[in-house]
A and B are shown apart, each in its own frame.
Chain A
Amino acid sequence: MGKRLLLRGNEVIAEAAIRAGCQCYFAYPITPQAELLQHMAVNMPRLGRTFIQAESELAAINMVYGAASAGVRTMTSSSSPGISLKQEGISYLAGSNLPAVIVNIVRGGPGLGDIAPSQCDYFQATKGGGHGDYHMIVLGPSTVPEAGQLTMLAFELADQYRTPVMLLADGMLGQMMEPVELPEPIEISSLPQKEWATNGAKGRDPNIILSFDLDPEVLKQMNLILQERYRQIEAKEVRYEETATGDADIAIVAYGTVARIVKTVIKMARAEGIKLGLFRPITLWPFPSQALKKLSEKVATVLTVEMSAGQMWEDVRLAIAERAETPFYGEMGGVIPTPQRILSEVKKHAG
């Protein structure tokens, strides 16, 4: 049993990245992600690794592009507006088959928004915020310990599939403290060699990292490789958690901070005789459509609850179609839904 430490989400994500062998971290200051940057500022140089506070989030994602090309594990983090600045770079990472981890500590939007927690970047993360047919694997932690575990997983999946992976947390998860047992650090030297990396053409043909070809047929082939990768990921990497859905009459679909609140609502509802369950997507892309479809065959209503105007809600409706009622309740602007408020929504639909 490792030591249990009381740590902030931002610090756990940073420390997990270090333990996952992140050798280069590039980022720009922004609340509510600042402690992540500051943790890296202290610890990366101490370990002889690279830390740069870049001149912008846009520069940072392009430094990630360079470090990833050179074959090392690399990460950047930011919050909503900063993540918008990284979209072109993320599209390039996807188009160039480059592994990288991007952390979004989501805050109220759009525009400058506020620094309170939110989930209003779901579309940007899962439907592709940049140009072109691409996806990122998007992981949605709902507790501080899980944020650490999913950060480690993000680096593994990025390398395995040669793709950018996003950790989609929020301002609450980033700044809340919880007792955590940090994952064991991996040995960087144990990581498999990346034959495709641009780390010096010694004893081999030159490697070229690029995402373009002016011949449409060639670019189509490059895209087919991406699409095949996404089919593989959809087939193998879907993750979700179901709570109290065995005998449920009504279920809530929620992820991240909201899912955590719903676990309290389940107790409150069941105390009043309402059999409520929770379906919590952990991979927001690939979205757990099949599992949700199966659940919708057992319950009459599947209520989606988000800290947004309803974005994951669209994927829920796509998965469920007419099999069950799919109402929605959301809060915007960084307002966090209370258990009581969610319960009143449940009661409206519990029939």
Chain B
Amino acid sequence: MPVDVQNMQKVFARPNSLTDAKSTYCPGCHHGILTRIIAQTIDELGIVERTIGIVPVGCAVFAYRWYRCDAIQAAHGRASAVATGVKRANPSLIVFSYQGDGDFASIGTAESIHAANRGENITVIFVNNQVYGMTGGEMAPTSLVGQKTTTTPQGRDPKLFGYPIRFSEMIAQLDAPVYVTRQALYDTKRIKEATKAIKKAFTNQVKERGYSLVEVLATCPTNWRMKPIDANKHVANVVEKTYRLGDLVNRG
């Protein structure tokens, strides 16, 4: 029997900037958590009326449905360039580019690096789940050594497919970025820290400090062939060994 909450105080609800659309992500997928955090950040900063979401090609291609703000769907890999165009056209807009690891760190390598190198005053959210989710679990540049994917069935052999690319570390070498951090969402503590990092990244843009990048280690239960809770543990116990969490640049 449902508990009567009539005379109780609501302490947590869906963020206002989140639409009512039902999420298309798989059960347990961290894209959903991240989407909620971004919507919550937009609420807290009161910027929904001037926020523009740039959505990639990949599992997040439907991300324009989740937020009550304008959004643009960008060609695969080009979201950081599209974000540049929007921001330069109208600097009063708050522009965030939401990209998966294939989008950001494979096909979009050049656009990603050069938007950062120009110090575009945008906020980039880079979701690293080490596979191509939407297309069926292929290897990504971020796939771990030995990771089995649908294009590395024997496990990723660095001699043939190279090593996991630490893209945030590459971006951190550039002079322009003001904030570069790697976060995760595999437990409540990480979720709270990631929320702080994302709020800082958006705040940097609101205060016109320059380019911020938040890489988020995320799960892909479907293509990892793991239960959501085990996928969370996998990030904590395995993935985090290759991708160190924490701030890499913090000049904001």
Chain A interface (Cβ < 8 Å from any Cβ of B): 23-24, 26, 50, 52, 54-56, 58-60, 62-72, 74, 88-89, 92, 96, 198-203, 206-212
Contact = CB atoms under 8 A, between A and B. Distances in A.
Top 4 closest A-B pairs, CB basis? A66-B85, A198-B70, A63-B85, A210-B73
A55 B88 contact: no
Contact of A59 (B49, B78, B86): B78
Contact of A74 (B49, B54, B61, B89): B89
Contacts of B48: 201
B78 A67 contact: no
B70 A199 contact: yes
Which of B61, B67, B88, B89 is packed against the most chain A CB atoms within 10 Å? B89
Contacts of B73: 96, 208-212
Contacts, number: 128
Contacts of A50: 88-89
Interface in B26-66: 48-52, 54, 61, 64
B50 A62 contact: no
Interface string B105-147: 0000011011000100000000000000000000000000000
A65 B78 contact: yes
A67 B75 CA distance: 14
Contacts of A56: 110
Given A62-B82, A92-B75, A55 B70 contact: no
B171 interface: no
B78 A206 contact: no
A202 B68 CA distance: 11
B82 A69 contact: yes
A208 B70 contact: yes
Nearest to B81: A62
* Residue of B64, B74, B85 with most chain A CB atoms under a 10 A cut-off: B85
A199 to B, nearest CB: 6
Contacts of B51: 200
B9 interface: no
B90 interface: yes
Contact of B89 (A60, A62, A66, A211): A66
Given A50-B89, A198-B70, A66 B84 contact: yes
Contacts of B86: 66-67, 69-70, 198
A52 B50 CA distance: 23
B78 A23 contact: no
Contacts of A212: 61, 73
Contact of B50 (A59, A68, A74, A202): A202
A23 B67 CA distance: 28
Nearest to B86: A66
Contacts of B236: none
Contacts of B88: 24, 50, 52, 63, 66-67
Nearest to B114: A55
A69 B72 contact: yes
10 contacts: A24-B88, A55-B113, A55-B114, A59-B81, A62-B81, A66-B72, A89-B75, A200-B51, A200-B90, A208-B72
Contact of A72 (B67, B68, B75, B90): B90
B93 interface: yes
Contacts of B74: 62, 65-66
Contact of B52 (A54, A200, A203): A200
A203 B92 CA distance: 16
A26 B90 contact: no
Given A207-B70, A208-B70, A198 B52 contact: yes
A203 B50 CA distance: 11
B71 A198 contact: yes
A88 B77 CA distance: 12
Contacts of A24: 85, 88-89
A74 B83 CA distance: 14
Residue in A26, A67, A69 whose Cβ sees the most chain B Cβ within 10 Å: A69
